[in-house]
Chain A
Amino acid sequence: MKSTRAMRMFVSVLGAASLVATACAPSSTTPPATQAQAETPVAGGRIIEGSFSDIQRLNPATSNDATSSGISGKIYDALVNVDAKTGDPIPWLGKWTVSADGLTYSWTIEPKANWSDGKPIIADDFVTRVKAQLRSKVTPNKSQFDKVEGAKDYQAGKATSISGIKVDASDPKKFTVKFTDAFCPALLSVFGAAPLPTHIFGKYTVDSDITKNVDEAPENNNPPVASGPFKFKEWRKGDQVILSRNESYFLGAPLLDEYVLKVVADSTAASAQLKTGELTVNLIQPSEIADLSKQDSLKIYRWQDPGYTYIGWREQSPTATFFNDKRVRQALAYGINMKDVLQAVFFGEGTQMFSHHAPVSWAAATGLNPYAYDKAKAESLLKDAGYAKGADGFYAKEGKTLGFTIVTNQGNKTRETFLQVAAEQYKQIGVKVNPKLEAFEALVPKLTGGNPEVEAVIIGWQIGAEADSYTLWHSSSIPTPEKGGNNFVFYKNPRIDTLLDTGRGPDCSKETRKKAYQEFNQILNEDQPYNFGISGNRLLATASNIRGIDPGSFSPTGEWNIHKWWIKK
């Protein structure tokens, strides 16, 4: 039961930050290219992937959870995708150009792109998606199109069309979208929203009536047509979701007959099923590698991930005011041997992180301080901050022992172990850590709701291809009880705000953004608002006869090219 909890929590965090599309980077242990060259792909067969939760809502306009998005992402393709290896946006169902002022995007949808019933995918289908989402009462992503001109008016019922979206009168596959202000992440966040078939969902949103919406459309969970590699076949609630090959997929029909998502209780159960062949694809935990790699019937792929697990120091905690002192935070960076953490907690499956963007990201900075373990330096920084070692071996100032509570979510084994190791190591430099476990569902609202009670936290971010991290680091994202936010370490730095603003535009050239994000990463590296912890590898176990897998860092599931996967008979 415990591990169930752990996994679900992990997934919830995924659902959290990975709103945008997929993207990738290299480094799998077994280069799949070598076998692919020697063998001829054949059609047929199915893959069975495990999931710790069932799907909830299959209409991407209303859903937010990772499992549902994973399935709807196989049924509905977006206009833009990300290169799995580099994280760069790439044309997918459509191609785009941007106006000089960065405000207007012109799109042309792939001429041969059709819905699985043969109807062409057209500009109106993108409009249908945007409208459906704007008028939905239940979507968590109501504000995804806020920067599209006229979107808010349409949402509020003040307009019967979205003034910023113009469909070409002569070519139904062409349209333009105008933004209120230049916003670099828009390319992925707005156009990463997959078009919905107008001939199915168009009727549910009524331009002149804001009470009408797509929320209860029967087709939401029984989508009749697909634009992605697979078509929906059946949802056996709580048990299986079955998809079948989309013969008319615009990149060519996939080789697999079927893709099946099978709900499994927890990682123990998933491992057992990988061994018996009841599952043939599943992301696994580092602790399972040793056992599963012994199985001849399985093959393990590993790749670096942009996300990471960190310790956040909450600088405005009224009970741990010392987190406001950079020297204390730096001491806490020198005072923990992250190489040990990587081995003991992540079984060596990961990379040390020194700032927000992982080495696989184009936005990463080089030449960062690695804060190599240095007990003497940590202690001297504490002394600089006014602390002196007491008779009990702990540092203290004005009679108060330097100590604090680190909380993590209960049931996540990796984080629980990380917490134990951290507490033990900090004790050795004279800092008293009180480890505490709390249920994810109680912890998260405290953090994002601006409750200062938690002093320090071990938790993780799943990071997508988009480098923008405004919602995590900008001072306007600091939560208060009135206004939630994800900058729950209360980190505030005017220069960081400026750099994050620069990264959002108007100049969206990669050079400008890269420069801004590199400086951003250098400052974070120096300031240590988090101990940036470890970026754990993605580990995918598959049946050894599945071919064509070519994972990359910006495809969290490794399935970006699933239409090319095939099964060797």
Chain B
Amino acid sequence: MIRRLLYAIPTLLGISVIVFFLTRLSPGDPIRIYTFGSQTITEDDIRQLRAFYGLDQPLPVQYVTWLLGVVRGDFGMSLQYHQPALGLLLDRLPATLQLASAALILQILIGVPLGVYAALRRGSWVDNAIRVFGVAGHAVPTFWLGLLAIIFFAVTLRVLPSQGLLTVGKDQSDIVDRLRHLILPAFVLALAAIANYSRYLRTETLDVIAQDFIRTAHAKGLRNRTVVYTHALRNALIPVVTALGGLLAVLVSGSLIIEQVFTWPGAGQFTYAAARAKDYPVIMAGVMLASTLLVISYLIRDVLYAVVDPRIKAR
């Protein structure tokens, strides 16, 4: 386990180098963007601002400075907000985690039964419907789906709020209101993953139920339900857990888009806005945060392997 954690370090370093140089070498100057239209600004002021944020240093020096800061937990000051970049992101992280975990729960609660059911009723119209849904859910872009959901549920039916975290005037601790706001983005975010998940599970379940030990289980006279849930599903889940790691990546990148469409004030939306303004410290902190979460999610996946498959031992 510890070895695995250590493996993560070079990965994260590599990501940081690529993102650092990519963002700085792409055209655009954050100071000029930020000061655009200030009637009184002088070139000297711009130089001073650049120097203050260390942007006048050669890129490798800037990178090392950044890295040394990160080691001390300092990701630098946001150019736009003039507050610590990491703190700004951490402020917004709970909203992202809320959305992502809601979507994760939905995808398991809906995706797993759907896939198993389709496999057991193979060839039936239900199976076909689920497969069509699987392909469609995978193919339809989430932002488009999000807009449709807003138009249908929020504007036409007016049963759910269209945007944001909380109704204006409601208290932060109003759980019901928060959940109402969570429904649309969480479902839309989960949908692609549900589609994916049900396809995986269907295929895996079909594989497993064709195997000898399932026939044996049936032959032993076990009840169908026991066979499916205890024997078949457990085995079908192994490759599905593998897929979970990839799905988490989809969830992280998908939540960026969903946060944008639903103005969900999370870390993804915030990083996106920072990328547009070339707010380097926030971009770096955002990418590193997302990468770290991803690395952690892969670790969790490995632990889960051991849970579903006793042959694999956690080290």
Chain A residues within 8 Å of B, Cβ to Cβ: 1, 4-5, 8, 12-13, 15-20, 46, 48, 53-54, 56-57, 62, 64-65, 137-138, 140-144, 146, 189, 215-216, 221, 236-240, 242, 258, 260, 262-265, 268-269, 272-273, 275-276, 278, 439-442, 444-446, 448-449, 462, 471, 482-484, 486
Contacts and interface: CB of A to CB of B under 8 A. Distances in A.
Interface in B40-54: 40-43, 45-46, 48-49, 52
Contacts of A269: 150, 162-163, 261, 263
Contact of A265 (B33, B52, B262): B262
A72 B143 CA distance: 33
B264 to A, nearest CB: 8
Interface string B12-55: 00000000000000111100111111111111011011001000
A445 B38 contact: no
Interface in B151-177: 151, 154-155, 158, 161-169, 172
14 contacts: A15-B36, A140-B35, A236-B166, A236-B172, A237-B265, A238-B92, A238-B265, A238-B269, A239-B265, A265-B262, A276-B154, A441-B28, A483-B43, A486-B37
Given A1-B143, A137-B48, 20 more contacts: A1-B260, A64-B35, A146-B40, A236-B172, A238-B266, A238-B269, A263-B164, A263-B265, A265-B263, A269-B263, A272-B154, A272-B162, A278-B162, A278-B164, A441-B27, A441-B33, A441-B276, A444-B32, A445-B27, A445-B32
Interface string B52-75: 100000000000000000000000
B9 interface: no
Contact of B164 (A65, A144, A240): A240
Give the contact-size bracket for chain B: 35 or more
B33 to A, nearest CB: 5
A259 B81 CA distance: 22
B269 A445 contact: no
B249 interface: no
A361 B36 CA distance: 23
A444 B36 contact: yes
Which of B26, B28, B163, B260 has the most chain A CB within a 10 Å cutoff?
A: B163
A16 B261 CA distance: 26
Contact of B166 (A48, A237, A240, A441): A240
Contact of B278 (A216, A239, A262, A441): A441
A57 B34 CA distance: 12
Contacts of B42: 142-143
B155 A276 contact: yes
A16 B147 contact: no
A142 B41 contact: yes
Contacts of A48: 168
A413 to B, nearest CB: 16
Given A46-B169, A138-B52, A276-B155, A16 B164 contact: no
A54 B274 CA distance: 12
Contact of A138 (B27, B49, B164, B172): B49
B164 A239 contact: yes
B49 A140 contact: yes
Contact of B41 (A141, A462, A482): A141
A97 B276 CA distance: 45
A272 B155 contact: yes
Contact of A448 (B36, B81, B257): B36
A470 to B, nearest CB: 9
Contacts of A138: 49, 52, 82
B243 interface: no
Interface string B79-99: 011110000100110010000
Given A138-B82, A442-B27, A445-B29, A16 B38 contact: yes
Q: Which 10 A-B pairs have the closest CB atoms?
A: A16-B37, A238-B265, A442-B27, A140-B35, A445-B29, A441-B28, A445-B32, A17-B37, A239-B265, A143-B40
A18 B36 CA distance: 11
Contacts of A144: 40
A143 B45 contact: yes
Q: A8, A57, A221, A239: which has the most chain B beta carbons within 10 Å?
A: A239
